[in-house]
Structure 1
Amino acid sequence: MDEETGYEAVRSRDARFDGEFFFAVETTGIYCRPSCPAVTPKRKNVHFYPTAAAAQGHGYRACRRCRPDAVPGSAEWNVRADVVGRAMRMIGDGVVDREGVPGLALRLGYSARQVQRQLTAEVGAGPVALARAQRAHTARLLLQTTRLPVTDIAFAAGFASVRQFNDTVRQIYARTPTALRAEAGTRLPAPEPAAPAAPAAGVPLRLAYREPYHRPAIFDRLAAEVVAGVEELTGAPGARTYRRTLRLPHGFGLVAVDEAAAGPWLDARLHLADLRDLTTAVQRLRRLFDLDADPQAVDERLGAEPELAALVAARPGLRSPGAADAEECAVRAAVGSAGAARLVAEYGRPLDAPCGTLTHVFPEPKALAEHLPLAAAFEDGSVRLDSGADREDAEQALRAVPGVDAATAAHIRMRALGDPDVAVPGLPTRDAWRPWRSYAVQHLWAEGELSLASGPAHAHRIDLEQP
């Protein structure tokens, strides 16, 4: 997109471009999202940046009014399978915070210098700056939605020191952490009562998306796939709540996501055993609910196809759900719902105390490696499904696993790796639907033209070895 088109989006306050780019105003030193309600600046004073980190790197502060750090992520990273797209997904998953730039580069198969150069050229900021911007967003969220001590928030957000935390918050938000928290005022939730079964902290979340978003279809899909012990869906249609346990790098979590609409976001509540997992948990929820998609682009392309036009008109903004845990998603695709429930009961990690019908965290691959070839492939590294995995390589590796056929591998690619353009063997997909074939399949499922029983998740089942 050229800058004149970007300026027109700013003039019209077009929310469809929120997160796709940011604009900064030279005379104020502030950067904003395109839909910022403030007075439109003169064109000669406006500069455009592909990421918030790039704007921050040029010395601009985040707008207090439109909060540009709270926008959906760019849909470009869902589509792109190159090193930059993979790097952006991994940074979002917290890899730089946990493993540093060398760890990111190693996972990508490039040198740290090559990763730095490519990211800077494409998105205007290197991996450290991108991770820093993400940490700042996490810090603001915790400051304004919890009563955690400021020192705890600094380390939970991924900062190496309190001083680094203070300096970053001042630079990006032009306020101290204390002042940033004071802006929330009475909106802070009341302290949660202590309970033996409660995780260490609870964080209310607003998971933003680009409109439209067809909520009923994605909650219907989640309801049809619930695995007892790790998931539940309660309430009447239109007011349902999806709850599940999460296996995260530093511990476990519990999340509840509401179907009812209050704005262009999903209301959620996240409880974590270790707050350092907040960024990772949020990104995995965003992938599960496909919140960074560009529904206008998908609907425009698929709605032009005769076979799909009526389906798209009936369900504008239909999403292609991803996975909260890629390895869990793959195992569930391989063994089916009944097999997955059995694995949870026999090998899952029990919660210290049940929370409703949630009793376990889905078992780690090492707990299943002796019984399931796919889990063994995860353990020995022959199959990688992390956020930076190469999609083509992953699908080929999956098809080499005993018992995983082409349809199951394609389903795993669609869901676990979030690929928006998967052609599933045995299902009616057309090249004309590219690059959104995964979304076309979702429309066919939602309409009932493909039953869940005939979908790729049920095309084949690996027999579980009796323990």
Structure 2
Amino acid sequence: MDEDSRFEAVRSRDARFDGEFFFAVETTGIYCRPSCPAVTPKRRNVRFFATAAAAQGSGFRACRRCRPDAVPGSAEWNVRADVVGRAMRLIGDGVVDREGVAGLAARLGYSARQVQRQLTGELGAGPVALARAQRAHTARVLVQTTELPITEIAFASGFASVRQFNDTIRDVYASTPSELRASAPRGGRAGRRVAAPASGIPLRLAHRGPYQAGAVFDLLADEAVAGVEEVGGVRGRRTYRRTLRLPHGTGIGVVDERPGAVRSASGAHPGGWLDARLHLTDPRDLTTAVGRLRRLFDLDADPYAVDERLGGDGRLAPLVAARPGLRSPGAADPEELAVRALVGRAQAERLVQRYGKALDAPYGSLTRLFPEPAVLAEAEPHGTLGALTAALADGTVRLDPGADRDDAEAALLAVPGLDAATVAVIRTRALGDPDVGPPGPDVPDSWRPWRSYALQHLRAAGERVGQGPFGATPQAPSCGSAADGSGSAPR
């Protein structure tokens, strides 16, 4: 988009572009999301930014009315396979806070100077500024949704000192942390403050455009591995829960199915959110846990671009019309997903019960974490399972958010016994690739770059595309979701 097109989106308050870019008003010193309901500023006073960090770096503070830091992430970072896209996915996972810019650069295979230059040149902000903006958002969530002491929130958000925390909050929100807490909304579940993260941090996980929650929850229910996941409730009001292994501790993620928002009179879809709660043993894991839930539920997708492309195909057009905004779910734990794609659900449940680490405090039927690759490689070293887990454990196969997808696919195909169809599932789900289709004439190139979404439409409609590793299930990206709980034969 050029700047004139962006201003038209601002003038029409078009929510489709929330998170895709930000605009700032020089006369007020405030930056906003495109759909901000405030009076449209004069064109000559408006500046545009690719990221919130770039706006903050130019001295603008976040609008209190539209809360631009709470928008969905740009779908561009999930689509792009270059260093900028990979870097943004890693920063979103909290790598800069945990490992610094040097750690980010090492994961990308570039020098720190090269990463700084590429991010600054394209996004107007380097990795430190991008991580700072993310820390500020994490801090706001903790300040406004918990009763944690401000000092604890400062370090839980990733700040090196309380002074740095206070300065950043004032710069970004034009408020002190205490003022920010006092201004927190009190309406609804997401507006109630909790005493501590152990009580569950309430969140709203925003998405743009329509969202077919029912199809996502159906898939998660079919795949759920006992002890690690559960889906309860009646259709339309279900709740998904799962255990999370996080950098500083463990967590329980809880996400509620929510009916889609009603279209406006103009026919546009305003977007919406999924209600969620996170129970964390260490609040420093909030940013990482949120990012992993967002990837699992594919909340940063651009359904407008996907539906426009696939809706022009004769075979897919009626499916897209029936399910606008259908998502291609990812994974909360990429390495876990790889193992499950190989062995299927029944075998995965056996591995959980035998080798999964027990939670200190069970949460309903959730009692364990999925076993780590190193544990499985030592416990069951033979066959394809042993080869895969050993490769994951020693880094031969990398599936983290910044992994090069082509390199990861090549490494997976080199694992003895791992076939191309299973690798395609891993690439789709664990690596979040939106453009994966099984080989063969059933999947035309006209579906690019959204073949993963095309297969989800076929799966939701009960159609078969080729023959893959999951027996009777339609060949769309799924992890052993046959009715009997089996997937690929254990190897």
Within a 5 Å distance, the mapping from 1:146-185 to structure 2 comes to: 146-184=146-184
1:189 equivalent to 2:203? Answer: no
Q: Which residue of 2 aligns with 1:402?
A: 416
2:344 paired residue number: 336
Question: What SS is found at the alignment partner of 2:98?
Answer: helix
Correspondence for 1:55: 55
Across the aligned residues of Structure 1 and Structure 2, the Cα RMSD in angstroms comes to 1.6
**Displacement of 1:452:** 2.8
Q: Aligned letter for 1:204? A: P
Residue in structure 1 matched with residue 276 of structure 2 by the alignment = 268
1:440 paired with 2:454, answer: yes
Aligned with 1:242 (options 240, 254, 262):
240
For residues 396 and 298 of structure 1, the distance between their equivalents in structure 2, rounded to whole angstroms, comes to 27
For 1:419 and 1:103, the matched residues in 2 are separated by: 23
> Are 1:404 and 1:460, in contact at CA under 8 Å, matched by a contact in 2?
no
Aligned residue for 1:200, secondary structure, equals: helix
* Distance apart, 1:418 and its partner CA: 0.3
2:266 corresponds to: none
Identity %: 73
Structure 2 CA distance, aligned partners of 1:350 and 1:297? 42
Contact 1:351 1:360 in 2 (8 A): yes
Counterpart of 1:374 in structure 2: which amino acid?
A: L
The DSSP-based 3-state class of the residue aligned with 1:452 is: coil
Alpha-carbon distance change, 40 to 287 in structure 1, aligned in 2, over 3 angstroms? same
Count of matched residue positions in the alignment of Structure 1 and Structure 2: 459
Moved runs in structure 1, 4+ residues, more than 6 A? none
Distance 1:312 1:171 in 2: 44
Confirm or deny: 8 A CA contact 2:238 2:257 kept in the other structure: yes
After TM superposition, the structure 1 = structure 2 runs for residues 288-327 of structure 1, keeping only pairs within 5 Å, are 288-327=296-335
CA-CA distance at 1:462 after TM superposition: 6.1
Is residue 389 of structure 1 aligned with residue 403 of structure 2?
Answer: yes
Relative to structure 2, which stretch is displaced further, 112-121 or 180-189?
Answer: 180-189
Structure 2 length-normalised TM: 0.91
Q: Distance in 2 between matches of 1:169 and 1:65?
A: 16
The residue matched to 1:97 in structure 2 has which SS? Answer: helix
Which has the higher mean CA deviation after the structures are superposed, 351-360 or 378-387?
351-360
2:139 matches 1:139: yes
Shift of 1:296: 0.4
Task: Choose 452-461 or 5-14, whichever is displaced more.
Answer: 452-461
* Partner residue, 1:206: 204
Q: 1:215 corresponds to which residue?
A: 213
Q: 1:116 touches 1:126 (CA, 8 Å); kept in 2?
A: yes
| Structure 1 residue 200 displacement after superposition | 3.4
Q: Deviations over 1:152-184 (max 9, x none)?
A: 111111101100000000000000000000001
Taking the TM superposition and a 5 Å limit, the aligned residue runs for 1:342-361 are 342-361=350-369
**Equivalent position amino acid for 1:355 in 2:** Y
CA distance in 2, matches of 1:289, 1:127: 25
Offset from partner CA, 1:11-63 (integer Å, 9 cap, x none): 00000000000000000000000000000000000000000000001000000
Which stretch has the larger CA shift, 179-188 or 230-239?
A: 179-188
Query: Which residue among 463, 466, 471 is the counterpart of 1:449?
Result: 463
Taking structure 1 as the reference length, what is the TM-score of the superposition? Answer: 0.96
Equivalent residues of 2:455, 2:476 under 8 A apart: no
For structure 2, the 5+ residue unaligned runs are 262-271, 381-385, 465-471, 481-485
- Secondary structure class of the residue paired with 1:233: strand
Contact 1:405 1:460 in 2 (8 A): no
Deviations 1:267-318 (A, max 9, x none): 0010001111100000010000000000000000000000100000000000
In the alignment, the residues of structure 1 paired with residue 312 and residue 102 of structure 2 have an alpha-carbon distance, to the nearest angstrom, of 45
> 2: CA distance between counterparts of 1:229 and 1:85?
34
Q: Residue 422 of structure 1 aligns to a residue in which SS?
A: coil
User: Structure 1 residues 106-115 or 395-404, which shifts more?
Assistant: 395-404
